[in-house]
A and B are shown apart, each in its own frame.
Chain A
Amino acid sequence: MKYTTAFAIGLIFGIGLLVSGMYHPAKVLGFLDLAGKWDPSLAFVMGGALPFSAIGFIIAHRRGKALFGEPLHLPPTKKIDPRLLIGATIFGVGWGLSGVCPGPAIFNLGFASGSALVFIAALGAGMAGYEMFDRATAKR
């Protein structure tokens, strides 16, 4: 059952990306380009998403567990540490260079374009590289 819901919910996320047009790097870069002709669309995507997501989290937090009895897998840490700040900065630079963040990067695989494949391969390599770095530093 949880695989069916995961698939169906992934589908809703994907349709959301399609409808909002945020899978187009140009839309994202248009939002990030404050000094050029600014396209506020991405702010409207966030504005559309936040109320629904907030209600969902309020309900989940009240219930304390998911509908099929799964615990809520929430981030273990609440600390704002250098890792968070440096990581977010690195991500932001990559996002600004390409106009692509992880959700649309995966979504765009469906279009099977060469650029989408190049990007996702590099993204996977970056994630695997960080994982290795994380394991190496955790051992010490």
Chain B
Amino acid sequence: MQIDWINFTPWPSLTGGALIGIAAALLINFNGRIMGASNIVGGLFHSLSDAPWRLSFLAGLIAPAIVAAAINMPKPVFFGSTATLIVAGLLVGCGTRMGGGCTSGHGVCGMSRLSPRSIAATLIFMLAGFVTVFVVRHALAGAAS
């Protein structure tokens, strides 16, 4: 295994991670809610009865990106064709609802409260992610060349 030392950012990652963990700790204690992005959004498709807190949270989540864009911080660069993005978006939307969570809900909140479901889900989506990237970047790329 080769480490990508140029792009590896241990301190910003730890700091940003700590902020995400603090946010999760605050949301369960202030609002009694699990900070899972997919469930906060997905709940809107289930029932609109508690839409206001969900939309408040999502507005807060987007706000730093609006500021970052305004002060010309580096834009996120998406990979793949539009078709790939559509397929990936469909899979992420459907999979997170079916599996009941995503990186924040299962990966951060569920793992931190030692939920067996979340630990299983996190191991599986990580494994599926590793395999998918291997297939796309190495197996298919190797076969094409």
Interface residues of A (CB under 8 A from B): 2-27, 29-30, 32-42, 44-57, 59-61, 63, 65-68, 70-75, 77-80, 83-113, 115-116, 118-131, 134
Contact = CB atoms under 8 A, between A and B. Distances in A.
Contacts of A5: 26-27, 30-31
A41 B10 contact: yes
A44 B17 contact: yes
A41 B13 contact: yes
Contacts, number: 493
Contacts of A119: 78, 85-86, 88-89
Interface of B: 1-4, 7-10, 12-35, 37-38, 41-42, 45-46, 52-54, 56-69, 73-80, 82, 84-100, 102-104, 106-109, 111-113, 115-117, 120-122, 124-134, 136-138
Given A38-B4, A73-B33, A86-B99, A127 B126 contact: no
A32 to B, nearest CB: 4
B34 A56 contact: no
Contact of A48 (B17, B84, B87, B88): B17
A78 B45 CA distance: 23
Given A97-B91, A98-B88, A118-B85, 20 more contacts: A3-B53, A5-B30, A10-B60, A10-B61, A11-B64, A17-B64, A26-B79, A46-B17, A52-B25, A53-B21, A56-B21, A57-B28, A59-B29, A72-B32, A94-B90, A95-B129, A110-B64, A125-B90, A127-B45, A130-B98
Contacts of A70: 31-32
Contact of B128 (A11, A91, A126, A127): A91
